[in-house]
Amino acid sequence: MKFFLDTANVDEIRQAASMGILDGVTTNPTLVSREEGKFKDNLVQICEIVNGPVSAEVVSTEAEGMLSEARDLAGLHSNIYVKIPMIREGLKAVKTLSSEGIRTNVTLCFSASQALMAAKAGATLISPFVGRVDDISGVGMDIIQDIRTIYDNYGFETEILAASLRHPLHVVEAALIGADIATMPYKVFDQLFNHPLTDIGLERFLADWDKVKDRVS
C-alpha cells in the first residue's frame, strides 16, 4: 500500500518524507488555502521533496477550462497528477487528458458507480472520500470494498486512493480491502506508529539494560 500525505504544508511533507516511507501527496483547494505563499511555487517545492505523485486540483467546472488548467499544472513538474472533480464535464476532460498522457486523480467520488465511470474514462487514480460518507451516517469503507471488487472483476488499471481518512483504523481497513493508496493528514500518519505497549516495552528493556551495562563488554 502506498502512503500519501493529504496536505499542502511543506513542513509536514518534509517531516513525513524524512521517514523514508512517503510515496506521494494529495492537495485540494481547501488545503492550499491554509498555506502562505504562491500556489504554483509551493507545488513545485512539494514535488521536489516527494519522489512520487503530487495531486493538484483544477477549479474550472467546464471541460475546456479543466483541460487548460490541467495542461498548465502538468507542465510544472513531472510528479504532478491533475485532480479533476467527479462530474460529467470532469470525465470528458479525463478522457482527453488520458489520451495526452496526463495523469489524473478523479476526486469527490462517493459511490461505486462514479468510480466505474471514472475508470472507463481512463482515470489514473480514483479518490473515494471515506470520512465524509461516515460523517453523514453512511459506511464509507463499503464503497472502497465495492470499487475493489468492480475494478478486479474487469481488470481496470485505475488505482484506488482511499481519501478522507480520519484515523488509523481507516487506514488499516483500507489496507485489508486492498486499496492501492491511502492518503491521510499528517496527524494520522504519525498516529500509525504509536502503540503504548511499544513505549512501555522499550522503557523496560532500556531500564533492565542499564542494570547490566557494566557487564556488556
Active site residues per annotation? 83
Q: What is the spatial distance between Cα 133 and Cα 164, in angstroms, rounded to a whole number?
A: 9
* Binding-residue total with ligand E4P (CB under 6 A): 11
Q: Does 26 bind ligand E4P (CB under 6 A)?
A: yes
Among 43, 121, 163, 181, interactor with ligand E4P by CB under 6 A: 163
- In the complex, minimum distance from the CB of residue 199 to ligand E4P, in angstroms, rounded to a whole number: 28
Q: Does 131 bind ligand E4P (CB under 6 A)?
A: yes
The single-letter code of the amino acid at 96 is T
Q: How far apart are the first and last CA of the chain?
A: 42
Q: Does 183 bind ligand E4P (CB under 6 A)?
A: yes
Among 14, 132, 134, 178, interactor with ligand E4P by CB under 6 A: 132
- In the complex, minimum distance from the CB of residue 184 to ligand E4P, in angstroms, rounded to a whole number: 8
Q: Does 127 bind ligand E4P (CB under 6 A)?
A: yes
Per CB under 6 A, residues contacting ligand E4P are 6, 26, 28, 107, 127, 129, 131-132, 163-164, 183
